[in-house]
Amino acid sequence: MASRNAIRFLLPEHELRGKVVWVTGASSGIGEELSYQLAKLGALLAISARREDELQRVKKKCLQISSLSENDILVLRLDLTDRSSHEAATNSVLKHFGKIDVLVNNGGRSQRSLFVDTNLDVYNAIIELNYLGTISLTKHVLNHMIQRKKGKIVTVSSVMGIMGAPLATGYCASKHALQGFFNSLRTELTDYPEISVIQICPGPVQSQIIQNVFTENLAKSIENSGDQSHKMPTDRCARLTLVSVANDVQEAWISDHPYLAVCYLWQYAPTWAWWLMNRMGKRRIQNFKSGIVSVQCVPLPAACLFHPAGVVFCCGNVGIALLLTHTQSSVPFLQCSLVDAIYSFGTKKYLPS
C-alpha cells in the first residue's frame, strides 16, 4: 500500500507527450535513444547533430515506431562549435513549432588520452564543443523560455562531472564546467519558477562513444570500442533520463555499481575516493597502454540515485526509496523538506526498466 501511495509523487515520462523537445547529439548514443523514446511518447521533436544523413535515419525510425507525422519531426543539422549559427538554428525550431518546451543538451565527445601525451589544441576542441557550444545554444533558447516564463533546460553531463578519472582530464574538466555553470544558472532564474535546469549524470552506457573520442591529437581516433556488456543499456539510461525530466529533478546520477559507489565516495568521502581512484586509475592506464580500451568491472546490483533534490533514491534489488513531495507542496520552503520514506523490495515499482 505504501508503494502505491508513493507512486503519485513520481510523474511518468508520459508528461512529455505533446511537448516540443529539441535534442542535440541525436544521431547516436543516448541522444538517438532519447529521440526514439520521445517519439513513442508523442513528443514533437527537433533533432540535431553534424551528420544530417544519420539524423534522417533516426527520423525514419522515429516515424516507424510512433504515430508522429513527417511534420512532427524537424531534422536540423547543427555544429555546436559553430556558435555563430546557434541563433539561426533556434529561430528555425521556433519557426517550425512555434515554441521550445525542452532543450536537451546532449552533444559532445569523450576523451581517451594521457595529459602528458596530448596536444593542447585537443583541450581547446573539447572545451569548444562540450562546454562553450552547449552554453551558447542554451543562451539563445533560454531567451525564448524567459519570454514564455516556462521551459526545461536539460544537460546530459556525466559522472565525470562529479569525479576525476585518468585518460579523461579534458573531458572531466568540460563536464565539471557544465556542472558549475548550470548550478549557477539555476540560481539566476529564481524569478522564473517554471523554468527548470536539469543535469543528467550518466555512468558508462552501451554506445559507440569510444569510436568518436578525442585522443592525443585531433587526427587520431580509436576504432575498437571494447567490451560494452558491463555498461548500462542505452534504453535504460534514456528512460530514467526522461523520468527525471518529467519530474524536474535538478540533478540525476544514472549509473550501475561500482561507478555509482565511487560517486558517493567523491561526494561524501573524497579522501577515500582519491585512494581508490589512485589504484583503479593505475590499472586503467596500464590497460590503455596495452591496447585495452574498456575494462570490465564486477557489477553490483543496479542502482539509480537522484540527488540532491531528487525524486527517488533506489539502491540494488532490495532498497530504500525516498520520494520528495515537492511537486505536491505549494510552500517553497517545504519543497525540499517533506520526505516520504518507503521500504520496498525491488525498484521497478518506482523506476521503469
- What is the set of active-site residues? 171
Grid cell 544558472 in the structure block, residue? 185
CA distances from 248 to 15, 180, 202, 259 (A): 11, 18, 16, 24
Q: Which three cell numbers stand for residue 288?
A: 590503455
Cα–Cα distance for residue pair 226/37, rounded to 1 Å: 26
CA distances from 273 to 139, 264, 265, 314, 341 (A): 35, 9, 5, 22, 28
Is residue 127 within 8 A of residue 172, CB to CB? The reply is no
Is residue 131 within 8 A of residue 170, CB to CB? The reply is no
DSSP string, 244-277: HHHTT-SEEEEE-TTHHHHHHHHHH-HHHHHHHH
Cα–Cα distance for residue pair 154/182, rounded to 1 Å: 9
Cα–Cα distance for residue pair 198/250, rounded to 1 Å: 5
DSSP 33: H
Cα–Cα distance for residue pair 280/277, rounded to 1 Å: 5
